[in-house]
Amino acid sequence: MSQTIAEKILAAKAGLERVKPGQIVDAYPDLVMSHTATWRSVSVMKKIGAKRLYDPNRLAIVLDHISPAKTEKYAADQQTSRNFAREYGIEKFYDVDAGIAHLVLMEHGHVKPGDLIVGTDSHCTIYGALGALGSGIGYTEVASVWVTGKLWMKVPTTIKLTLNGRFAAGVSAKDLMLYLIGTLGADGCGYKSVEFYGSALPQMSVSERMTMANLAMEMGSKCVFIPPDEKTSEWLLPRLKDPASYQPVFADPEAVYEQSIDIDLAKLTPMIACPHQVENTKPVAEVMGTRIDQAFLGSCANGKYEDLVVAADILAGRKIDPRVRLIVTPGSKEIMLEAMRTGVLATLIESGALVTNPGCGACAGDGGTMADGEVSLSTANRNFVGRMGSNKSSIYLSSPATLAASALKGAIADPREFLR
Amino acid sequence: MQDKITGRIYKFGDNVNSDIIIAGRYLIYIDPVKLAEHAFEMLGEGFPARLRSFDILVAGRNFGCGSAREQASTAIQGLGIKAVVAASFARTFYRNAINDGLPIFECPAVYDAVAEGDELSIDLAAGLISHSGRDYEFPRIPESVAKILQLGGLANYLKSTLEAGAAPR
């Protein structure tokens, strides 16, 4: 019988010939990611008296959320994580200088097609951009996988999304995802796997695919899959320690999908998620002119090099509205270095941006805190009440292009007005 | 875990996210009492204090969506809440609740039927939730997973398997 990618990978990681939706299996992930939450998993290990790890090579630790530490408590927790990594010889340990865990792990070749990856972050779905299955779990469960090597997983049903056509100028992967989340709802893909196909995919960059796989979490997806192709191998092969380990896995052509949805990218327009739910989306045209106090360009959704370039292209030679604070947080050290070398950072700074060190930054409430009544526009993936400070502030979400245009205007603006 | 859970309910709507349940700035805690002091405070004045007089939370679709933070279920337990009944749960919250020993029940019909302050009775053995003389069936948690909940969470479960000598290699 034909299998979806979730069925295929979960069967392989559970040592089974085949599995079917609804079945519960004991799966052995290839990688267990923990970020700033690592100290909590360490405390669970202590509490249960476990001393040995199933396989230290399967652990990856990245201190990304509050980096560098801003209070003694954060410092102590990071120290716990650092000491644990040292004690157990965790080679895939990245300290506060590295950036956002998801991006760092992909950039360093720790994620490859066919892998099953779990971690202390809901946006683990992003690994689907490289043809791997990723899913978020809590810190106790991470400790459990550290010790036992496995976790129970229910085999999900799958939704097939087929993308055809090309984006119009000023429209991007972020607009596509906001459109989808708005249409399908915050639980439109609840408990389900999402596979992307279509004639539009070969033209989409790895960076765009990361945005798609990341945002798919906001419609409840358990995991995401974008079939690896030439773009994937070109990006990933030079990053893999063992290039021979690049062995893409694909769904069978006759696999059974619960639902199939076709999207024509050419019909999409710039989109905005309004406060306080990601599913509360509207075309930019409907909220144009809404005043903003802060604009945040960053996060695992849109803090990548290409995202910074899109914003810089619009901001080059222009000045942002003086009433707006534009905060730029590159997703990783690699991204920041590239943006430095190519002059993108200089362009952003000259336009009036404040550039911070790489990491989760304001998306995770690290800097850029909002006061009562303030409005933030953000390229991140969540606009929940109070996420960036006061519960009387509000957050809109957009693409990097819309964000740059809005920073110039001091109010939500249509990026197509500023394209050169 | 008790065989029967009874008490007064507080009712939420759809898509209650884990940032609302416990804001990111409090993830420096893992202690239920400490977390409960700030649970749901994003909802404004009166929270979380007013939730302390209720025993069971009832919610609509996609309860606990968003962040995978386990402290969302820990904070709810810290408030003295004994169970959560929802039309549906976000998958990370569902797992975290089980791993945290917080009983959860998926039952859309109950959500439609109840109002704040109503009495609810959950019979785990019978698989029934009772409300004003009517019984509602809920789908049982798979047996292999229910064991985790019965032992009060994944840490206890793991401890018991380690002690039983089923130690991992």
Q: Using one digit for the tens of pLDDT, what is the confidence trace for B94-104?
A: 999 999 999 99
Could A365 and B25 be called an inter-chain contact, meaning their C-beta atoms sit closer than 8 Å?
Answer: yes
Q: How far is CA B28 from CA A277, B23, B25, in A?
A: 25, 10, 7
**Closest chain B C-alpha to A336 CA, distance in angstroms:** 25
Report pLDDT for A364: 87
**Sign of the four-CA dihedral A365, A368, A371, A377:** negative
Closest alpha carbon to A41 in A151, A164, A146: A146
Tokens of A15: 């040592």
Half-sphere exposure of A99 toward its Cβ, with a 13 Å CA cutoff? 23
CB nearest A391 (choices: B42, B62, B100) = B42
Residue ranges of chain A whose pLDDT lies below 50: none
Report phi then psi at B23, rounded to 5: -70, 150
| Partner residue opposite A144 with nearest CB, options B27, B144, B154 | B154
The domain spans of chain A are 5-263, 271-417
Selecting from A144, A191, A391 the residue whose C-beta is nearest the C-beta of B158 gives A144
Q: Which residue has the tokens 């394209």?
A: A419
- Tell me how close the Cα of A384 comes to any Cα of chain B, in angstroms: 7
- Which pLDDT value is given to residue B162? 87
Q: B interface mutation test: which of A28, A38, A81, A140 has the most B CBs within 10 A?
A: A140
The size of the A-B interface in CB pairs under 8 A is: 125
| Residue B153, in any domain of the structure | no
Instruction: Say if residue B142's pLDDT is above 90.
Output: no
All residues of chain B having their beta carbon less than 8 Å from the beta carbon of residue A184 are none
Backbone angles phi, psi at A170, to 5 degrees: 85, 0
Among the partner-chain residues B25, B90, B154, the one whose CB lies closest to the CB of A190 is: B90
Q: Which residues of A touch B24 (CB under 8 A)?
A: 364-365, 387
| Minimum Cα–Cα distance from B160: chain A residue | A48
- Can you give the residue range of the structural domain that contains B26? 4-139
Which strands sit side by side in the sheet containing A116-119, from one edge to the other? Answer: A92-94, A59-62, A31-34, A116-119, A133-136
Q: What is the architecture of the domain spanning A271-417? A: 2-Layer Sandwich (3.30)
CATH 3.30.499.10 at A5-263, yes or no: yes
Q: How far is B165 from chain A (nearest CA, A)?
A: 12
Over its C-alpha atoms, chain B yields an Rg (Å, rounded) of 16
* CB contacts, 8 Å: B67 with chain A: 121-122, 382
DSSP for B76-134?
HHHTT--EEEES-B-HHHHHHHHHHT--EEE-HHHHHH--TT-EEEEETTTTEEEETTE
Give the Å distances, CA to CA, from A306 to A61, A177, A297, A418, B156: 25, 17, 12, 18, 46
- Given a contact cutoff of 8 angstroms between Cβ atoms, the answer to whether A324 and A407 are in contact is yes
| A144 half-sphere exposure, CB direction, 13 A CA radius | 27
Residue B121 maps to a domain: yes
Q: Is residue B165 part of a domain?
A: no
**8 Å CB contact of B20 and A140:** no
Question: Shortest CB distance from B145 goes to which of A152, A365, A382?
Answer: A152
Sign of CA dihedral A256, A251, A232, A211: positive
Name the amino acid, one letter, at A114: G
CATH of the domain at B72: 3.20.19.10
Residue A384 is nearest to which of B19, B144, B158, comparing CB atoms? Answer: B19
How confident is the prediction for chain B on average, in pLDDT? 94
Residue-wise pLDDT tens digits, B56-97: 999 999 999 999 999 999 999 999 999 999 999 999 999 999
Buried b (16+ CB within 10 A) or exposed e, A165-184: eebeebbbbbbbbbbbbbeb
Beta carbons of B66 and A122 less than 8 Å apart: yes
DSSP label at residue A274: P
Band of pLDDT at residue B3, cut at 50, 70 and 90? confident
How many angstroms separate the CA atoms of A284 and A274, rounded? Answer: 10
Q: From chain B, which residues contact A within 8 Å (Cβ)?
A: 15, 17, 19-20, 23-25, 27-28, 30, 41-44, 61-62, 65-70, 88, 90-92, 95-96, 99-100, 142, 144-145, 153-155, 158-159, 162, 167-169
Of A43, A74, A277, the CB nearest to B30: A43
User: Does B96 contact A138 at a Cβ distance shorter than 8 Å?
Assistant: yes
Mean pLDDT over residues B144-162, rounded?
Answer: 93
For residue B119, give how far its alpha carbon lies from the nearest alpha carbon of chain A (Å).
28
Q: Distance between CA A32 and CA A136 in Å, rounded?
A: 10
Q: Map A307-369 to HEC letters.
A: HHHHHHHHHCCCCCCCCCEEEECCCEHHHHHHHHHCCHHHHHHHHCEEECCCCCHHHHCCCCC
DSSP state of B142: P
To probe the interface with B, which of A144, A157, A214, A278 has the most B CB atoms within 10 Å?
A144
**CA closest to B71 among chain A residues:** A138
Is omega for the bond preceding A276 within 30 degrees of 0, making it cis?
yes
Q: Flag whether B154 is in a domain.
A: no
In this predicted complex, what is the ipTM? 0.95
Q: pLDDT digit string (tens) for B112-124? A: 999 999 999 999 9
Domain count, chain B: 1
Measured distance CA(A340)–CA(A335) in Å, rounded? 9
Phi, psi of A106 (to 5 degrees): -70, -40
Task: Let me know if residue B157 belongs to a domain.
Answer: no
- Tens of pLDDT, residue by residue over A351-381, are 999 999 999 999 988 999 999 999 999 999 9
- Taking contacts as CB-CB distances below 8 angstroms, the residues of chain B near A54 are 168-169
For residues A80 and A41, is the Cβ–Cβ distance under 8 A? no
A48–B155 CB contact, under 8 Å: yes
Strand-strand pairing, B4-11 and B119-123:
antiparallel
Task: Give pLDDT, residue A417.
Answer: 96
What was the pLDDT predicted at B1?
67
B111 CA: distance to closest CA in chain A (Å): 17
- Closest by CA position to A347, among listed A317, A302, A379: A317
**Phi and psi at residue A249, to the nearest 5°:** -115, 140
Task: Give how far Cα A81 sits from Cα of A106, A141, A150, B78, Å.
Answer: 21, 17, 21, 26
Is the fold of A5-263 the same as that of A271-417?
yes
Rounded to whole angstroms, what are the CA distances from B54 to A331, B50, B83?
A: 42, 8, 10
Instruction: Show contacts of A369-374: CB within 8 Å, 24+ apart.
Output: A370/A293, A370/A294, A370/A395, A374/A293, A374/A294
Task: Check pLDDT > 60 for residue B168.
Answer: no
Q: Residue B169: what pLDDT?
A: 42
Q: Provide the pLDDT for residue A344.
A: 98
CB contact under 8 A, B15 and A54: no
| pLDDT number for residue B166 | 58
Q: Closest partner residue to A141 among B27, B144, B154, by Cβ?
A: B154
DSSP states of B1-41: --SEEEEEEEE--S--BHHHHS-GGGTT---HHHHHTTTTG
Single-letter code of the amino acid located at A335: I
For residue A409, what are the contacts with CB-CB under 8 A and spacing of at least 6?
A: A321
Does the beta-carbon distance from A387 to B23 stay under 8 Å?
yes
Put simply, the answer to whether A24 touches B99 (Cβ < 8 Å) is no
